[in-house]
Each structure stands twice: as C-alpha cells, then as structure tokens.
Amino acid sequence: MKQYKPYTTKHEEILLDTSKAIMEICNKIYTEIDRNPNNYDNDVKPLIRVFNKLVHENQVILKHLYPDRPKVVVTHLALKTTPDEYTLIPFEVVDKREK
C-alpha cells in the first residue's frame, strides 16, 4: 500500500479536517435522505444539490492533498423520477481565482 506524505503545514491539516467534516456531512445526507419518490418534498432538491457540491469540493481538496492518488469513481445523488429514470440535480462550480 502506498504511503502518503505526513501533513507538514497548518493549512494541510486544516484541509484534511475540512475533508473529514465534508465526508461526515455527506454520509449523514446519503444515509438519511428519503429515496422514495412519493415522499419528495421541497427540501430534497437543495439537499441533493448540496451533497453533490460537497462531493465535488471534497475531491478538489483530496486532489490537492494527494496529487498522485489514483482516480476514483465519484458518486453523486440524483432524483429518481421514474422506476428507470434519474435526474441529476446540477450544481454550479464557480472558479473565482484571478486568471
């Protein structure tokens, strides 16, 4: 198993703590969200959107902390609209860094 570098800066430790907090939030949403389409309410879409955005942001953090990490398949939540159809709830990723 590949050994990754120890965290050497305060900011790396903060990033790791942030990643862990994001994973806790995502695990809570993923395990507690009601997946029954008959029970969808006005809060389901924003909850799915937040989950998917957090998953994306966590991947950004992990890519930064572990640049040599193998690529992984990332799971996003989607609304089940029919027995065979899902609708992915889009989220906007804005890069505000100066070009």
pLDDT digits (tens, 9 = 90+) for 59-93: 999 999 999 989 888 888 887 777 777 776 665 55
**pLDDT digits over 8-21, tens only?**
788 898 999 999 99
Is 3 a member of any domain? no
What is the C-alpha separation between 90 and 67, in angstroms, rounded?
A: 26
Q: Domain limits at 80?
A: 10-88
Question: Does residue 76 belong to any structural domain of this protein?
Answer: yes
Tell me, yes or no, whether 4 lies in a domain: no
What is the per-residue pLDDT for 92? 57
Number of structural domains found in the chain: 1
Give the DSSP H/E element, type plus range, for residue 47: helix 44-65
In this structure, are residues 15 and 65 in contact, taking their beta carbons and an 8 Å threshold? yes
- Asked whether residue 66 is assigned to any structural domain, the reply reads yes
Quickly state the pLDDT bin for 40 (edges 50, 70, 90): confident
Is 99 contained in some domain? no
Cα–Cα dist 38/66, whole Å = 41
- pTM: predicted TM-score of the whole model, two decimal places: 0.76
Q: Is residue 95 part of a domain?
A: no
Closest among 82, 71, 28 to 51, alpha carbons compared: 28
**Is 21 among the domain residues?**
yes
> Would you say residue 20 lies in a domain?
yes
Which candidate, 14, 93, 32, places its Cα nearest to that of 57? 93
